[in-house]
Structure 1
Amino acid sequence: MSKELKASSLKVQTFLSDRGKDFVVQQMPSSTRTAKEAADAIGCTVSQIAKSLIFKHSETGEPVLVVASGTNMVCSNKVKDATGIVLKKADAAFVRDKVGYAIGGVPPVAHNEKIHTILDKDLQKYSEIWAAAGTPNSVFKLNPKHLGELTHGEWIDLAQ
């Protein structure tokens, strides 16, 4: 794994360091764009990958971040029932503009603006999870407790 971080990953590392966290962003030698690729590169289960998915809030048009376990599909009805938010699909340009990262490298933190965040309760089953860190081949390790603290997200059952 390479020690030199790209600008997007450095933004994530700075965010984490500024909050007193000892997390280390790692550039992996292979792709971590999908949950399966990330798990293979890291050597963990796909369920331990905290995938960051950006949606549009149907009423406000604002971004909504859903951080889901790598094996879970997001059930929009469960999200609506738990939060009142109707999720709409967001395209790549919206994600880049509102969040500051390209799809495949979206981290759960260090966004361009404050984002309403919903967290998958299934991630709480693990003592160690991995999240994207700004590029399609950078990640960082954390535990679910820290994910909640860093994102101020709401934990719900969201799996299909």
Structure 2
Amino acid sequence: MSRCAPSRDSARPRSTSRMSARTRGMHKARRRRPRRATRLQVSAWAAHATLPPMEPQERVRTALAALGLPSEIVCFDGTTATAQEAADAVGCELGQIVKTLFFLADGRPTIALVAGDRQVDTSALAELLGVGRKKLKMGAPTEVLEFTGFQVGGVAPVGHLHRPDVVVDESLGRFERVWAAAGAHNAVFEAVTRDLVAAIHGQWAAITKEPA
């Protein structure tokens, strides 16, 4: 385990000008569609809406600092891509690992932050978002990368390329502190749970269930 040094690589992530026609259409549709009177509050997560081009881990570090959160990122020799792998590496409870999951709710991008020992109740999430169950789907890896700028297995809850709605599994409230991916398959950061959720304007909700 080691502290990840700030990246000096100037590699450029995908810019909004290179979004696919499908993704551009998704955003246009979102602007045209009248807002439903749902229980979900739209995130005002402006801190990383227009971050300059930078490496994924550095984008996470910058977003954390902008949100007033500790910005130390920890890297491991092995992978932390799954919740269990991350918990084993960190030495914490499985539930303390935040899974950052990307959904499309009738085309509307939504991020769900879920405890590592829980699974999403898609019916509950769809109801919260005001869409039918069949209108809710998990984003494909290419869609996740296009929207967040992160590869699956390293998606952080901060530093996305575009501004999402954010729903938070209320079971994460069991823990004072949690760990989340930091933009790479072997990088994580620690945060005070309620500070993180407040900083990203997440909506607490009962959206998970215990694994079968």
TM-score (norm 1): 0.92
- Quick check: 73-82 or 98-107, which moved more? 73-82
Contact 1:26 1:139 in 2 (8 A): yes
Q: State the alpha-carbon separation in 2 of the partners of residues 71 and 87 from structure 1.
A: 22
- Match of residue 30 from structure 1: 78
- Match of residue 189 from structure 2: 140
Q: What is the deviation of 1:23?
A: 3.3
Deviations 1:119-158 (A, max 9, x none): 0000011011001110011111012211212221110011
Q: State the alpha-carbon separation in 2 of the partners of residues 105 and 35 from structure 1.
A: 11
Correspondence 1:72 to 2:118: yes
**Bigger radius of gyration:** 2
Moved beyond 4 Å, runs of 4+ = none
**Structure 1: segments with no counterpart, 5+ residues:** none
**Structure 2: segments with no counterpart, 5+ residues:** 8-54
Contact 1:23 1:142 in 2 (8 A): no
Q: After the TM superposition, which residues 66-145 of structure 1 pair with which residues of structure 2 at under 5 Å, given as runs?
A: 66-85=112-131, 86-145=135-194
Letter in 1 for 2:69: K
TM-score (norm 2): 0.71
Contact 2:62 2:71 in 1 (8 A): no
- Match of residue 39 from structure 2: none
Q: State the alpha-carbon separation in 2 of the partners of residues 24 and 133 from structure 1.
A: 10
| Pairwise CA RMSD | 1.4
Contact 1:109 1:150 in 2 (8 A): no
Contact 2:121 2:208 in 1 (8 A): yes
Q: State the alpha-carbon separation in 2 of the partners of residues 110 and 21 from structure 1.
A: 12
Q: What is the deviation of 1:5?
A: 4.6
Say how many residue pairs are matched.
158
